[in-house]
Amino acid sequence: MSTAIRIDCPVWCCDSARHSVDDVMTSTDGRIIIGHSGPQFGPWSAGSDTDISTGKTVELSVAFDEVVLKERGYFISEPDVLRRIASEALAAAEWLEANR
């Protein structure tokens, strides 16, 4: 059973009040971090890692999730799908820029 822990999440965090000790990880450089899931922009997922000892954001990023693309039945051979993905990528880029 997971134990709930208090983490000051970014206002956009979709995991707020649901973090547990299972969410805590050690980064490649040895810091103790916790990941935050942010908004979804079509197949683009936003998120960040926070250093627990300092409370500072380690990395804020947007990642492409091919599974979401396939689940929605998007076929990249269709021009309108490329336009939609481009529009969602632009929204993700604007979110990333606004939250840095």
pLDDT digits (tens, 9 = 90+) for 39-88: 999 889 999 988 888 888 888 999 888 887 778 777 777 788 889 889 99
How confident is the model over 5-21, as a mean pLDDT? 74
Residue 19 contacts by C-beta under 8 Å, 6 or more apart in sequence? Answer: 4, 5, 7, 9, 34
Residue 72 contacts by C-beta under 8 Å, 6 or more apart in sequence? Answer: 42, 43
**Does the pTM of the predicted model rise above 0.75?**
no
Residue 2 has pLDDT above 60, yes or no: no
Cα 45 from Cα 42, distance rounded (Å):
8
Residue 8 has pLDDT above 70, yes or no: yes
Residue appearing with tokens 């490329």:
82
Three-state SS string across 5-45, please?
CCCCCCCCCCCCCCCEHHHEEECCCCCEEEEEEEEEECCEE
Domain ranges of the chain: 21-98
pLDDT at 98: 93
Residue appearing with tokens 């683009």:
44
